[in-house]
Structure formats: C-alpha cells, structure tokens
Amino acid sequence: MGKTIGRYVLREVLSAWLLMMAVLLIILTTYEVAAVLERAAADQFPQGVILRLIYLGLLQYVSLVAPMALLLGIVWAFGRLYHDSEMAAALACGVRPAVLYRPVIGLGLLVAAALAAVTLVLAPAATYQALTLRDQAIRAGQFAPLAPGQFRAFGGGSAVVYAQRVEPDGTLANVFIERTRGPVVEVALADRARHTVSPDGSTQTIELYHGERFEGVPGSAEFRMMRFAEHTVPIPMPRANTVVTDLDAAPTAALYAAAGPRHQAKLQWRIALPLMCLVLAVIALPLARLRPRQGRYARVWLALVVYVVYLNLLTAGEAWLGRGTLPVALGLWWVHAVVILLAIAIVRGPAVAHALRHRLVRA
C-alpha cells in the first residue's frame, strides 16, 4: 500500500512540475525569441544562426526555471491533495508521512543532480557558444554585400545605408546614407557609390559620387547643405571579440583553479543552484500544508515569495563575494541556512504566536 501511495504522490508531483516547466519555458521562449530577433535585425545576423541563439539562450535559463518549477509543482500537487482530503484520508489509514515525502525528496535529488550537470558543464558551454556565434554573426552581417532596396546599419548603428539598385559590377545606384557623429547628423544623397572594406577589416568606406550632403544638429536651425562630385564616408567597425572573457562562459574547472573573488563568486553561484533545488524540495512539503477550508492555491503565493527571497539573496551574495565584501570561505552557504530558517518561521510561526497569545490570556 505504501509503494502504491508513494507512486501516486510521485506521479502527481512530477506532472505538476513538468506542467510548470512547460509554462515557464514557453514564457521565456517568447522573451528570448523577441530579444534575438531584435538583436538580429539591428546587427544583420545571418538567418541560419537565429534558431541556434534561441536554443542556447534557453539552455542558460533552465538553471533558474527548474528550481522555481519544482517548488511550485510540489506546492500545487500537495495543495490539491490537502484540499481534496486525500492527505487526511491517507494519514488516517496509517500511512506514515515518510511514505508521502520520500518520492518528493527523491525527485528533488534527481532534479538537483541534473541541474548540477547543467550549471557546471552545459550552461557555461552554451554561453561560450552563444557569445562566439553572436560575434561571428555580427562580423558576417557587417561584411556581407549590400542588398538593393534594404536599409543596412553599420558601425553599431552609427551609420545607415540604402541603395535602390546594385549594378553587376558592385556599383550602388541612388544611394541614401545617414551618419551620426555625436549631436551632428549627416545625410547624403548620391547618384552612385562604391562600398569597400579595408584590408584589416577595421573600416568600411562608402565613396559617393555626384550628390548632396546635409549636416546639422536636430532641433536647431543651423544646417549646412552642399553639393559634391565625390565624397568619402569612413565607417569604423567595432572590434571583434576574438577571446570570450565573460565569466558565465568560463569552464567550471577554470573557476575552481582561479583565486580571484569574482571567479570564486561565479563558482559558488553554479554550486548554489542545484543546492537551491534540493532545499526548495524539502521546504516545499511543510509550505504546502493547508488548514481546513483553505483553497488549494492558498500557498502558491507564499512559495513564490520564498523563491523570490531565495533568488535575491543568492544574487546579492554573489555580488558581495565578487566585490570582496564577504569572505570567499563563507561562500553562499549562509543563504541556504537563512531560507531554511525563514521556512521554519513561516510554518511554525502561527502556532508559536497562538501559543504565546494563549499563555498571555491565561496569565
């Protein structure tokens, strides 16, 4: 009987966790798609890299989604069991609480182990690939030939070029170019233009022939207009990141070998997320306990508050470690202890307060 009830509880919690994971990932996918498409439009990414960037970005979000989904899934599932009196019936039939809690702890251990593989190995590799792929996409987009009838941004958006037609020899016809230099905006129109790139790739040049140029500060009445037979517009290119230096992309072994506070803070963060998953699985069980006549979702908001406090403490602790405010030996272990004490206060606080009031009334 105990195994049957344990499997039933595990099925309820697992289905609720998977549902929460799916909902949260759909929300994050929408955000990630919008962010990648906006960046791709601004930096002229090739179409082939957009889906890979979306996938790599979502892989980095899994480490934050999995603990939250596990906490909400447990509270959701046990809230239904308490609300439908299934927990009361099971306990009245002699089922020990350990039988009900054992599958949940086992699921928490499995999710924590999987999350450790993500945070320690997969997420840093995904971040490295995303940064490298993004840099390559920016370079490929910047050096791709101009397409007729399309606006093209150069130099991180400092210049915009449009050509109505591109001749077979590469000459641009009916060209419009806008360039920003501090507060000054320069607009040029030309019958023809040539687009060239310096040998080292640091500068792109637009040579305009037979046109007009307008220059001034928007909002002021001072503008200059001039005609030209030939005008050269140099556009400096942003430097390529040949080496990825983001700590999120550093391998875990490299962080472990480094002695700097920022490296150790990032290492502690990667270790803290799987532990967070396990701690949330343990404290979710008492948090999900409902009193008679409480709604099945009465504890969901409380679980969200605990998760937000937990995540904010981890984020603040990582920042303090990186700045040297906290000793590296302390790490982020204190955050888990604080959250466990907070959960105990939330669960036992009402009963303790009621007992104190009763004693005061009797006195």
Residue 245 C-beta-side C-alpha neighbours within 13 Å: 5
At 200, the pLDDT band (50, 70, 90 cuts) reads low
For residue range 134-165, what is the model confidence (pLDDT) as tens digits? 777 666 656 566 777 777 777 666 788 888 88
For residue range 206-235, what is the model confidence (pLDDT) as tens digits? 888 988 988 888 878 778 888 988 888 887
State the Cα–Cα distance between residues 299 and 74, nearest whole angstrom: 11
> Could you count the other beta carbons within 10 Å of the beta carbon of residue 17?
23
Q: What is the mean pLDDT of residues 271-295?
A: 83
Strands (E), 167-219: 172-181, 184-197, 203-216
> Taking the C-alpha atoms of 243, 249, 251 and 256 in order, what is their torsion angle to the nearest 10 degrees?
100
Alpha helices (runs of H) in 44-122, residue ranges in sequence order = 50-83, 86-92, 97-117
Judged by average pLDDT, the poorest of 49-58, 77-86, 147-156, 329-338 is: 147-156
Q: What is the mean pLDDT of residues 268-275?
A: 92
> Could you count the other beta carbons within 10 Å of the beta carbon of residue 52?
15
pTM beyond 0.95: the answer is: no
Residue 1 has pLDDT above 70, yes or no: no
CB 46 within 8 A of CB 139: no
Residue 113 has pLDDT above 90, yes or no: yes
CB 325 within 8 A of CB 264: no
For the chain, the C-alpha Rg in angstroms (whole number) is 30
Closest alpha carbon to 308 in 6, 50, 67: 67
State the Cα–Cα distance between residues 180 and 219, nearest whole angstrom: 14
Q: What is the mean pLDDT of residues 329-356?
A: 77
Residue 244 DSSP code: -
Closest alpha carbon to 297 in 72, 101, 138: 72
CB 233 within 8 A of CB 190: no
Closest alpha carbon to 101 in 293, 289, 298, 277: 289
